[in-house]
Each structure stands twice: as structure tokens, then as C-alpha cells.
Amino acid sequence: MPKKKEIFSVSDDLNGIFSNNAAPKAKAIPPNDRMLLTRALEIITRQMEISGNRPRTIGDYERYVTLFIKLTGVNYLDEIDSNKIYEWLSLMDVSNQTKLTRLKCIKAFLSRCHGNGWIDAPFWKKVTIRVDQKIKEGATEKDVKRLLSVLDLGDFVQLRDATAAYLMFKTGIRIGTVSYLEGKHVDFNERLLRLDGAILKNHNQILLPFDDTLAKLLDVLMRQNDQIRKAYCRKNDYVFITKHGGIISNSPTHNNIQKRLNYYAKMYGLKNINPHALRRGFAKSLLSKGANVAEISKALGHSNLAVTTQYLHLDKEEVAENLRKYL
């Protein structure tokens, strides 16, 4: 009879069986062993792939680090300093906004190198580039009413799109949340959206009130949904569905509602009819009605107030008019 020790002792050598799927080990560089930038990029992109980063993000790392090597002639990680980064930026014949985008990517790459122990001090954090921010307008009540007035609410698709637009303007929810909104989230008795963390970007539960007009639109739309699902034998409880009863795509480039809103904006010459503008319009509307920034931030589901203030960007005339109240 074998001893217990022998039973739990595995004789086969399984070391390295998962080596092809394991993330590369990020070890600090020995003093006399210099890290090639191409090697650092190879390891970091592999780490990102296994961590589940988006292919587009990984592609940006590869594109801009490769561009950095090409323009500056730098091959080793320890050759990079603030001056080299500024030199790289000066060699690009693009707008400052584009430079800023590329700079953020290089900074993120260097931060990962720092996290892997390959760089001692985060010198890149002090590298800056000035960009004049364009004020992104939010939708107004007038913009939304114009949209609703030109749409045929007797047509299912147009009713769906109108309801989605009005919903985003009146509650501030993201287009991604709209796609996953279900009947269980709509409380008609209390006139509340009861949103659970599963469908929100920050994963925190939130309650958002809605008005009678939105209640009417949602009620009609949801009853119409039932007929469509029955006709096409679909089983789901989504509030916004395709004309064949399926789920609305949540992809930014293929989202049915987002594409339709862009179509309406061009067809009817409408301003600020897109998900971001509707969300900003919701924030500005709350501010104009007396809500404080903390309340608006909670309603938008932001993790910090700095993001909220970007949504509430006021032009010079608005600031002057607001200050006049305190004279």
C-alpha cells in the first residue's frame, strides 16, 4: 500500500505546460543588460492581451512606440528622457490635439515600463503640451423638441429612436445603458429608473426620476415591443429592440439608435442630436435648475467631480451672466 506522501507526489514534470498562455514575467533589468524598446513593447503588448485590453488600445501602443523609435532613433529604454519626448513631439507635423493623443499613449507605455521595474523615476509626468479645448455643446430642450416634432411616432423605429433620445436627455444615461435597459428597470408607479450596477459603467446602483411625457413614450413603446417579440418569437425584456425583436448592438460604430440619430441630424439639419450631446444637455439642464455639481455627478454616474465639470463647461457669456446674480 503506497504511503500518503507518495500519493500526493506527482512524478510527471508539468512545469511549463501553460507557458504559451502565461503572461511574460516582467523582471527588473540587470545593471549591464539594456532593454530594447522593441522588446519592452513586445512584453507589454503581451501582458495587455492577456489582461483583456482592447485590440485598438494595444494597436495604439504598437503604432506610437514604433513611431517614436523611427523619428528619434532611440532604441533602448534607458535612452528616453523628457528632452527626447519633446524632440519626438516637435518632429510630428500634426495638430497639438493629435500630439496630445500620442503623448498620452507614450506616457501610458512608460508607466507600464515603470510598473514592471524597468524605469526608476516617472520623469514623463512633467511633459505637457498645450491644447485649446473646444467647448462641446449640450442639447437643449428646443433641439430635442425639434427632433420629436419631425419623427413619425406612429412608426415603430422612429418611436423607439424618439423615446431613446428623450430618455437620454431627461435622465442622462449613456447609450450603452440604453441598449441593456430592461422592463424590470422601469418603475412606472414611482416614475423611476431603477438601474442596477450590471448595466452601468461604474457598476453602482442608481435611481433616476422621469417625467410624465417619458412615462407615456415608454409605456407605448414597451407594449409595441411585446407585439414585435411575439411576432418574431423573441424572448427578451429589453426596452429598446430592433424591428425584428432582437437586442440593440452596443458597439459605438454599429449601435442602431446612435446611427439613426446621426441620420436624423443630417436629414433634418438638427444640432446636438447625438448621445453625448443629449447627456451633456441633461447635465446643463440640472445645473440651470439649481442642482449642485455633486448631485449632477451622481446622476451621471461619474467617479469624480472633475469629469462632471467637463460636461458643465460654460462659455464666457454664461459665466458673466451667472456672476451677475451675485452683484
DSSP letters for 31-46 = TT-PPBHHHHHHHHHH
Say which CATH topology domain 22-126 has. DNA polymerase; domain 1 (1.10.150)
What's the pLDDT tens digit per position in 24-69? 555 555 555 789 999 999 999 999 999 888 888 899 999 999 999 9
Average pLDDT, the chain: 84
Does residue 299 or residue 73 have the better pLDDT?
Answer: 73
Does residue 76 or residue 325 have the better pLDDT?
Answer: 76
Confidence of residue 290 (pLDDT cuts 50, 70, 90): confident
* Residue 172 CB coordination number (10 Å): 23
pLDDT of residue 56: 84
Max mean pLDDT among 5-14, 192-201, 238-247, 309-318 falls in 238-247
Confidence of residue 7 (pLDDT cuts 50, 70, 90): very low
pLDDT of residue 315: 56
pLDDT of residue 141: 92
Asked whether residue 219 carries a pLDDT value surpassing 50, the answer given is yes
CATH H superfamily, domain 141-284:
Intergrase catalytic core (1.10.443.10)
Asked whether residue 95 carries a pLDDT value surpassing 90, the answer given is no
> Grid coordinates in use for 310?
467637463
Residues 145, 149, 154, 160, CA torsion sign: negative
What is the rounded CA–CA span in Å between residue 194 and residue 185?
A: 5
pLDDT of residue 197: 75
pLDDT of residue 223: 95
Percent helix, strand, coil in the chain, to 5, is 55, 5, 40
> Grid coordinates in use for 175?
447609450
What average pLDDT does this structure show over 62-86?
Answer: 94
What is the rounded CA–CA span in Å between residue 37 and residue 77?
A: 5
* Residue 205 CB coordination number (10 Å): 11
What is the rounded CA–CA span in Å between residue 171 and residue 233?
A: 31
Phi, psi of 247 (to 5 degrees): -75, 145
> Grid coordinates in use for 105?
499613449
Confidence of residue 115 (pLDDT cuts 50, 70, 90): very high
Task: Please tell me whether residue 23 adopts helix, strand or coil conformation.
Answer: coil
Question: Per-domain residue ranges for the chain?
Answer: 22-126, 141-284
Confidence of residue 313 (pLDDT cuts 50, 70, 90): low
How many CA atoms lie less than 13 Å away from 317 in the CB half-sphere? 1
Q: What percent of the chain has pLDDT over 70?
A: 79
Burial class (CB in 10 A: 0-12, 13-18, 19+), 192: middle
Query: Can you list the positions of beta strands (E) in 180-261?
Result: 186-187, 192-195, 206-209
Asked whether residue 293 carries a pLDDT value surpassing 90, the answer given is no
Asked whether residue 144 carries a pLDDT value surpassing 90, the answer given is yes
245 close to 237: Cβ distance less than 8 angstroms: no
The model carries a pTM of 0.59
